Amino acid sequence: MTGQQAFETYRSQEDSLKAVAATLKAPQLKEVPNKVVALAEQVRDLQKENAELKQKAAAAQAGDLFKDVKETNGVRYIASQVSVSDAGALRTFGDNWKQKDYSDVLVLVAAIGEKVNVLVASKSKDVHAGNVIKALAPIVAGRGGGKLDMAMAGGSDASKIAELLAAVPAQF
C-alpha cells in the first residue's frame, strides 16, 4: 500500500485513535495506552470487590436461611430456594453450612438466568448427596451428580422448583 491509499488508511486509524482518546478523556494521543492500562486495573479491582460483596451478601442470607430446619425420619434438613448470581455462590452457601451444625442435609435451588442450579450437601453417612441430586434433578429437567458429602445439578425448568423442594423429604 503506497501513496494516497496509505495516507487514507493512516488518517482513518488516527481518527479512530482520536475517538478513543476523547472517550478516555486523554488530552494527547500518547496518553491513551496509560489510560487503557489504568482502566483495566480499575475493572479488575471492581470485579474483585464485587466478588467479595457477593460473598458477604450470601453469608448474610445464609444466616436467615439456616434457621429454617425441618426433620423427616430423624434427618434434620434445610431445603430452600435462594437468589444468587452464579453456581459458585451456591457452593459458598454449602461451605458456610459445613462450618456449623445447622442440619444433617442442605438442599438449595437457584434460578440463575434461564437455568436452575441445585446443590445438595450432607453430613449424614445415611444420606448420599450424589444419590439425592440424581433423584431431584430430573424434576427440573436436569441432571447432576457428586460425592457423598456434596453434589450439584443443573436443569432448565424453573417452574418446577417448588415441586423439587416438596420432593426433598421423600429422599430420607
Predicted local confidence at residue 106, as pLDDT? 96
| Per-residue confidence band for 86, with pLDDT thresholds at 50, 70 and 90 | confident
Report pLDDT digits (tens) over 31-63. Answer: 999 999 999 999 999 999 987 887 777 667 766
Distances (CA, A) of 75 to 69, 92, 171, 172: 10, 23, 10, 7
% of the chain exceeding 70 in pLDDT: 97
Residue 2, pLDDT above cutoff 70 = yes
On whether the CB atoms of residues 110 and 90 are closer than 8 A, the answer is yes
The mean of the pLDDT values for the chain is 90
Q: What is the pTM of this model?
A: 0.70
Mean pLDDT over 137-161 rounds to 95
**Cα–Cα distance measured from residue 47 to residue 79, given in angstroms and rounded to the nearest whole number:** 30
Report pLDDT digits (tens) over 89-129. Answer: 888 888 888 888 889 999 999 999 889 999 999 999 999 99
Predicted local confidence at residue 85, as pLDDT? 80
Residue 142, pLDDT above cutoff 70 = yes
| Per-residue confidence band for 69, with pLDDT thresholds at 50, 70 and 90 | very high
Mean pLDDT over 2-18 rounds to 88
